[in-house]
Amino acid sequence: MTTKYYGCALAVLVLLVGAGTVQADTILYSTGFESPAVVLGNLTTSTIAGQDGWVRYEPVANTGDFVVGTGTGADTTQVIKSSTAASATTSATRSLSLAFTSSSPAVTTSAMFQNVGGDVFNLAGLWWGTAWTDFYPKKTTIGIMATGGVSKVVLGWGNFYGPALTLGSWYEIKAVTTFATTGGLTDLSYRNVTAGDSLFTPLATGVAAGLTPVSGVYNATGVILYMNAGTGKSAYQDNFSVSQIPEPSTLALLAAGLAGLLCYAWRKRK
């Protein structure tokens, strides 16, 4: 085999290996609640509603607006926080139009939450319809909730996983949902950002997501943020995103095709 053919073979091999191991996320929606999309302004009056497509949502009585404020610890120069009023919940939604089928790549929902203690519930996730029940019980909703006086990671309302969380720490929580199984399956993991954890710790795999397809399609109409930390306290969130990871086989085919074109061009030059 001539040198040029060895070069072509090596190029194909490198691209195939790279395609199988380096997979760039396709971002469906992402926000760090930063300028220019979200303006900090006055910490007591600058709300998320009306910014970057977010609107106030009132699934229950006494629901307030998220305030765009500053947090402590981790990368939290600008975050959203809940109302400190007695028994006040805070909720906002943003419309999206996403459709998934059984052959769609996995969808990752990720966000950062601070454990502030108290009777906290602090949730974020995809909205699979228009009713309140199309959000909070679904096992694509992630966050922190209190149980027995301690805060833990949840997947859907009141479904607790893992050990008690460290007071004051920020956690990144991630849910990866696949659709090949009817209703969807979700893997849950987390990391302590404040402690400097770089790797995610798995908490659950293959949890039934509880989604309902319509003519074989799972339709997400938007995203929701929902928080309450009890009287006199604020719950905090940051860096919310929804993304997909391309299938390795698809990337491999693209890489092989590119390598073939490069080799063809090389041979023509010779």
CA gap 12, 255 in Å, rounded: 7
Instruction: Kindly write down the DSSP assignment for every residue of 192-208, as one continuous string.
Output: ETTTT--SPEEEEEEEE
Between CA 104 and CA 215 the distance in angstroms is: 15
Q: Which of 219, 61, 223 is nearest to 141 (CA)?
A: 223
Which of the pair, 137 or 9, is modelled with greater confidence?
A: 137
For the chain, what is the mean pLDDT? 81
More confident residue, 63 or 154: 154
Instruction: Characterize the bridge pairing of strands 63-64 and 89-100.
Output: parallel
Highest averaged pLDDT of the listed ranges 2-11, 39-48, 64-73, 190-199: 190-199
Q: Is the model's pLDDT at 79 over the cut of 60?
A: yes
**Which residue reads 């293959």 in tokens?**
206
- Tens of pLDDT, residue by residue over 107-132, are 999 999 999 888 888 999 999 999 98
d(CA 138, CA 160) in angstroms, rounded, equals 13
- Give me the phi and psi of 97, to 5 degrees please: -135, 95
pLDDT of 98 > 50? The answer is yes
Strands (E) in 21-88, as ranges, are: 26-31, 54-56, 63-64, 67-69, 79-81
Does residue 200 or residue 49 have the better pLDDT? 200
Cis peptide before 36 (omega within 30 of 0): yes
Looking at residues 38-44, what average pLDDT do you find? 57
Q: Is the pLDDT of residue 224 over 80?
A: yes
- Highest average pLDDT, of 49-63, 134-148, 227-241, comes from 134-148
**Buried (b) or exposed (e) across 33-48, using 16+ Cβ within 10 A?**
bbeeebebeeeeebbb
Q: How confident is the model at residue 251, as a pLDDT?
A: 46
Q: Do 187 and 206 touch, CB atoms closer than 8 A?
A: yes
Q: Which two tokens stand for residue 232?
A: 């006199």
**Mean pLDDT within 140-150:** 93
Global pTM reads: 0.81
Please check whether residue 228 is in contact with residue 236, taking contact to mean a CB–CB distance below 8 angstroms.
Answer: no
Percent of residues, the chain, with pLDDT higher than 90: 49
Question: Coil, helix or strand for 212?
Answer: coil
Higher pLDDT, 88 or 154: 154
What is the per-residue pLDDT across 4-22, written as a single tens digit (0 to 9) for each? 444 544 444 444 444 444 5
Non-local CB neighbours of 13 within 8 Å, separated by 6+ positions: none
